[in-house]
Structure 1
């Protein structure tokens, strides 16, 4: 079917409306990247304070040795894993990348137990025949991350207390530069013995010597819980920043493609319109020449 000016005009209007939607999504994605990156930076100082508290608890105690022994005893238990993805599409290979990375890492583990954050990554993990314990909704703002972290902590602590899992690790995409991101993993529990020793050897930043109030075990447990909260919050925020960076890149490609399509449609429209005008002029000239001459 040949193009007419009316059909071309409808295509141009549809492409223009779609381009407007794409550019709005680009602006929203760019704004979201900024807020999640700011949340990660703001969390840095609090994370440093938690690590300093842990370094005090690890000094001159058998906490590191006990945790190392616990790690040995939990080797035969299933490993709990949280995989951060997205609920929405238009993010390129964002979910495929983190799901493949989690599958390759968890395949050697004996029956891992996985929680998916996001419907899209849940579907990818399900297609890979990985054992899923449940899923969580992806937060739509920085404030909503706290609620998600609380849900993950409650679920994982219940499984740990029941002996269903012996550890917890995270899988998520971390932004690097621009719209580039890379999948990373972080083991939260049991705590890494080398990391604990490094904290214990960290020098105190001031001349005032630290002191632990109350029982050392209670304080250590409270600080470990804060460490888990900080790690989960950071992982979720970095995953959301990567998701929006991927969406921004996808929308940029879509905007470029729509712009090229509009250029072709406008050129075709002007050519067809000019062709119609030429045909009308030829008809007028032919009609005039066909008139009988006086």
Structure 2
């Protein structure tokens, strides 16, 4: 049976836990802001790089891209999936959501699958699903830590594609939405083929003057493509981190609500037990008075 002292300890513990939850809510909200700012700032740069590639294609009068056939056409295609997850707890279904999305998406792709996981928790989920996770990267802890990670991933993905011409590289990550929500997203990173060129046609050159490439044609194109791949990966990582903190914020809001309900319930029990104790003491006093009056 619970006593006033045990209920008082539970109430104190609930209030302490609520303080921790509020602190984590504030940290998550602050992190969301910095990652969303990074994504927004990157958007302008991403558009500039894309326009530079459009300018190159326009100057060179490239209206289509024909895929070069490799001699060994019967070689099995390799599918490399770069999956951005989380290493931290208290993120709800964040890792489960992206893992299920990866499994469903890869099921429709023909070829041998290989997973590069950013985050140990999502790696374990995908391994349990039977996928080969050949590389594991640590999740960045801040905006400044994203660039070293992306440089490492980009270098290895370019090497992978150069060594396996009959391959495709995809990016999987959670993308933030309004009201602290997120949705899983997919983007094909490599190869850069006719399908990729057509995706750029949605952008229009901002002026009536024809674009011109200053300097060497090939070095300029290589630099633009490198920046395009870098910004694609950076954007995916920043959006994943923003989604992770949005999921944590939502989890902390639910936890705070549950703690508030628990505090109310414990408070009612404490006051009820305290009132019962007072009533018992009053009944004892009244009973004693009645006995003394009869004597």
Whether these two folds match at TM > 0.5 is: yes
Q: Deviations over 1:85-139 (max 9, x none)?
A: 1101111111111101101111343221111111111111111110111111111
Deviates most, 33-42 or 157-166: 157-166
1:170-189 matches, within 5 Å, as 170-189=171-190
1 CA distance for matches of 2:193 and 2:176? 24
Instruction: State the alpha-carbon separation in 2 of the partners of residues 105 and 74 from structure 1.
Output: 24
Report if aligned partners of 1:79, 1:167 keep a CA contact under 8 Å in 2: yes
Q: Which residue of 2 aligns with 1:35?
A: 34
Give the whole-Å Cα distance in 2 for the aligned partners of 1:39 and 1:201. Answer: 23
- Output the aligned Cα RMSD: 2.4
- The more displaced of 158-167 and 103-112 is 158-167
Residue 145 of structure 1 corresponds to which residue in structure 2? 146
1:77 Cα offset (Å) = 2.8
- CA contact 2:116–2:133 (8 Å) conserved in 1: yes
Q: How far apart are the structure 2 equivalents of 1:74 and 1:150?
A: 32
Residues 194-237 of structure 1 show CA distances to partners (whole Å, capped at 9, x for unaligned) of 44146468543235543223442222121111001100111111
* 2:231 aligned residue: 230
CA change 1:265–1:253 in 2 (3 A) is: same
Structure 1 counterpart of 2:124: 123
CA shift at 1:160, angstroms? 2.1
* Segments of 4+ moved more than 4 angstroms: 61-64, 70-75, 200-203
Q: How does 1:46-195 map to 2 (within 5 A)?
A: 46-59=45-58, 60-61=60-61, 64-66=64-66, 68-69=67-68, 76-107=76-107, 108-163=109-164, 166-195=167-196
Give the direction of change, closer, same or farther, for the CA distance of 1:215–1:249 in structure 2 (3 Å limit): same
Change (3 A) 1:155 1:94: same
Aligned length: 292
Structure 1 alignment gaps of length 5 or more: none
Write the distance in 2 (CA, Å) between the matches of 1:190 and 1:44: 22
Cα distance change, pair 178–189 in 1 and its aligned pair in 2 (3 A): same
Quick check: 1:111–1:131 contact (8 Å CA) kept in 2?
no
Aligned residue for 2:117, secondary structure, equals: strand
Q: Cα gap change, 1:215/1:201 in structure 2, threshold over 3 Å: closer, same or farther?
A: farther
SS at match of 1:112: strand
How high is the TM-score relative to the length of structure 1? 0.91
Checking the alignment, whether the CA contact within 8 Å between 1:97 and 1:183 is kept in structure 2 is yes
Alpha carbons 2:76, 2:166 under 8 Å: kept: no
Gaps of 5+ in 2: none
1:262 corresponds in structure 2 to 263
Equivalent residues of 1:79, 1:165 under 8 A apart = no
Corresponding residue number in structure 2 for 1:274: 275
User: 1: CA distance between counterparts of 2:74 and 2:65?
Assistant: 14
Q: Which whole-Å CA distance do the structure 2 matches of 1:95 and 1:236 have between them? A: 14
Conservation of the 8 A alpha-carbon contact between 1:89 and 1:120: no
Provide the C-alpha distance between the structure 2 equivalents of 1:16 and 1:165, rounded to a whole number of angstroms: 58
Distance 2:176 2:202 in 1: 30
Cα distance, 1:70–1:240 mapped onto 2, change above 3 Å: farther
- Whole-angstrom distance in 1 between the partners of 2:97 and 2:279: 55
3-state SS of the aligned residue for 1:135? strand
**2:133, 2:74 → 1: CA distance?**
20
Q: 2-side partners of 1:65 and 1:149: how far apart? A: 27
Structure 1 residues 180 and 292, CA gap change in structure 2 (3 angstroms): closer
In 1, the alpha carbon distance for the partners of 2:6 and 2:266 equals 10
Give the TM-score of the pair, scaled to structure 2: 0.91
